[in-house]
Amino acid sequence: MRLVPFGVAVVAAALFFSGLGTAPFIDPPEGFHTEIAREMLLGGDVVTPRLNGVRYFDKPPLLYWLISLSSLPAGPTPFAARFWSALAAVGVACVTAYLGILLGGLRVGLLAGLMVSANMGVFLFGRFVKPDLVFILCVALAYLGFALAYLGRGRWPLALFYGALGLATLAKDVLGAVGPIVAVGLFFWLTRERPIRPWVPWWGVGLVCAIALPWYALVELRNRGFLWYTIVDNHLLNFTRQRVFPDEDVPLGAIEFVIVTIIAFLPWALAIPTGALRIVRAPRRSATDRLWLLFAIWAAVVVGFFTVSPFKLPHYGLPAFPALALIAARAWDDTIAAAPGAARPRALLLPVALVFIAVTLTLAAAWAGVLAVPGGALTAFDVTARNLEARGQEAAATPLAAFAGVIRVSAIVFLAGTVALVIACWRRAAGAGVAIALATVLAFLPLAGNGMAEFARLRSVRPIAEALALRAQPGDLIMHEGALENSGAVLLQLRVPIPVIDGSQSNLAYGATFPEAREIFWDAPRAREAWAKPGRHFLISVVAADRSVVRAFPSDRVHLLIDRGGRRLYSNQPDRLSDMGGLATGPPSPPGARGAPAKP
Q: Write the Ramachandran bin of 133: left for phi over 0, alpha for psi from -120 to 50, otherwise beta.
A: alpha
- Closest among 30, 92, 3 to 462, alpha carbons compared: 30
Sequence letter at residue 342 = A
Q: Let me know: does 292 contact 241? Beta carbons within 8 Å.
A: no
pLDDT at res. 590: 34
Question: Per residue of the chain (600 residues), what is the pLDDT tens digit?
Answer: 678 999 999 999 999 999 999 999 998 899 999 999 999 999 999 999 999 999 999 999 999 999 999 999 999 999 999 999 999 999 999 999 999 999 999 999 999 999 999 999 999 999 999 999 999 999 999 999 999 999 999 889 999 999 999 999 999 988 778 999 999 999 999 998 888 888 999 999 999 999 999 999 999 999 999 999 999 998 888 888 888 998 877 888 999 999 999 999 999 999 999 999 999 998 888 999 999 999 999 999 999 999 999 989 999 999 999 999 999 999 999 999 999 999 999 999 999 999 999 999 999 998 888 876 554 555 556 666 666 666 666 666 667 777 889 999 999 999 999 999 999 999 999 999 999 999 999 999 999 999 999 988 888 999 999 999 999 998 999 999 999 999 999 999 888 899 999 988 889 999 999 999 989 999 999 999 999 999 999 999 999 888 899 999 998 899 999 998 889 999 999 987 654 444 444 443 333 333 333 333
CA distances from 32 to 95, 362, 371, 512, 538 (A): 30, 34, 34, 16, 20
CA angle, 507 then 509 then 510, to 5° = 105
pLDDT at res. 403: 85
449: Cβ–Cβ under 8 A, 6 or more apart, which residues? Answer: 18, 19, 123, 127
Residue 306 to residue 245: CA distance in whole angstroms? 21
* Total Cβ atoms within 10 A of residue 197: 7
Sheet holding 477-481, edge to edge: 521-522, 500-501, 477-481, 537-541, 567-571, 559-564
Q: Let me know: does 257 contact 316? Beta carbons within 8 Å.
A: yes
What are 563's strand-pairing partners? Answer: 568
pLDDT at res. 159: 96
The pTM of this model reads 0.93
Peptide bond into 195 cis (omega under 30): yes
Q: Let me know: does 289 contact 102? Beta carbons within 8 Å.
A: no
Alpha helices, DSSP H only, in 224-344?
226-227, 237-239, 254-264, 272-281, 287-308, 321-336
- Closest among 103, 101, 139 to 2, alpha carbons compared: 101
Q: Let me know: does 143 contact 154? Beta carbons within 8 Å.
A: no
pLDDT at res. 593: 34
Residue 329 to residue 325: CA distance in whole angstroms? 6
